[in-house]
Structure 1
Amino acid sequence: MFDTSTRAKAAALAFEESPVAQLMTRYRRIVEINRALAGLFGFERDDLIGRSVQKLYPSTADFMRIGDQCEEVMRGGKSRYYEDERFMQASGGEVFWARAKGTTLTPDDPYELMIWSFEKIEGKPYRSVRLTAREKEIAPLIGSGMTSKQIGERLGISHRTVEVHRAKLMKKFNVHNTAELVSQIVVAV
């Protein structure tokens, strides 16, 4: 049998050396990360500890939307778990498709303390490309099936501006129509 001190050290070592990319958050601020997460996102530990998890999202809109979805699922004790597939962003600006799984350790206040795991999804028909800040906002909305007019209204820009960005995205993803573009940027809604 392990004594309490040995068990605590073993648990800390297990978290640090886990092959699964994991982080702990308190009110959506990063409390701790493991080596696998640092490798997946390309950040050093000191770059993330104490920072908002927004640093790992390609846009503020994604950060807000996914946060609202997660809270809706967990609030009121509906569930302790949340899972989705989403765009994430590495330190060099590379946007990639990932599976995220989170669990709260404080069901009465879900965001008080959570553990998250992330897995890069290689099999998705999504190619990593460099996107501008506006493209990072527009791409998930296109992927969720919104029209240029709906996207423009949501973002407070004209539908023609959205169409210009849609055309640039199509060129970056090397596709010829919106259906092919959506297949590249599918977003779990």
Structure 2
Amino acid sequence: MDETDLLLMAFQEAPVGIVLTEDRTIRACNATFARLFGHPESALIGQSFRLLYETEREFEEIRDIGLAPLRDSGTYSDERLIRRIDGTRLWVRFRARTLTPETPLARLVMSFAPLPRPAAATVALTPRERDVVSGLAHGRTSKEIARHLGLSPRTIEDVRARLLRKFEVRNVTELLTRLTGPGISG
């Protein structure tokens, strides 16, 4: 086996999903990435990243979250829920590095690593609960989440309180800790 074959094998079998995009179109991905999302590798190449989001709005909002850091430092990282082809959700550590800082989305390398969580029962989240969890995971306050979603802060507080009861936790830190990992469906 020559060095090129070894590099290709390392890329394909890396313990994290790796994808290269150009203007939000998938140009290359490894087998781990395809397995994470539940798609055949061949079905992903040439597809818009939109394929991996439920709504156009979600697709656009997620893109905008990391643009400023990508322009400033060339990298961005967060934790997020991803949607698999079967509709289930998976909590992952997302990392991105732009190869073109002046236009961050022109060529981007991203990785997706599943986050483990204790063996808890699978819990379904409503779309509104997913929106609130996403905002909390990005460190936003209830007022910021409300403004972002076009809702009242009281509505966000109600959803937040419902999530704390649903997961039997005392605060947002415990909630996010409980939610990190597979087993969340939407």
TM-score, structure 2 as length reference: 0.70
Runs of 5+ consecutive residues of structure 2 not aligned to the other structure: 181-186
Q: Does 1:102 find its partner at 2:96? A: yes
Aligned-pair identity in percent equals: 34
Q: How does 1:1-189 map to 2 (within 5 A)?
A: 7=4, 12-57=8-53, 63-75=59-71, 78-122=72-116, 129-143=123-137, 144-147=139-142, 149-175=143-169, 180-184=174-178
Task: Tell me how many residue pairs correspond in the alignment.
Answer: 178
CA distance 1:83–1:158, shift in 2 (3 Å): closer
CA distance 1:102–1:169, shift in 2 (3 Å): same
Write the letter of the residue equivalent to 1:36. Answer: T
Write the letter of the residue equivalent to 1:44. Answer: P
Greater strand share, structure number: 2
Q: Deviations over 1:147-187 (max 9, x none)?
A: 2x54333322344543443344334423355564355458x
Structure with larger RCO (C-alpha < 8 A, sep 6+): 2
TM-score, structure 1 as length reference: 0.69
Write the letter of the residue equivalent to 1:102. Answer: A
Write the letter of the residue equivalent to 1:132. Answer: T
Give SS of 2:123's match: coil
Distance 2:79 2:118 in 1: 10
Runs of 5+ consecutive residues of structure 1 not aligned to the other structure: none
- Aligned residues: CA RMSD: 3.6
Write the letter of the residue equivalent to 2:12. Answer: E
Q: Deviations over 1:42-86 (max 9, x none)?
A: 2222443333334445776665454334221232xx433333333
Write the letter of the residue equivalent to 1:32. Answer: A
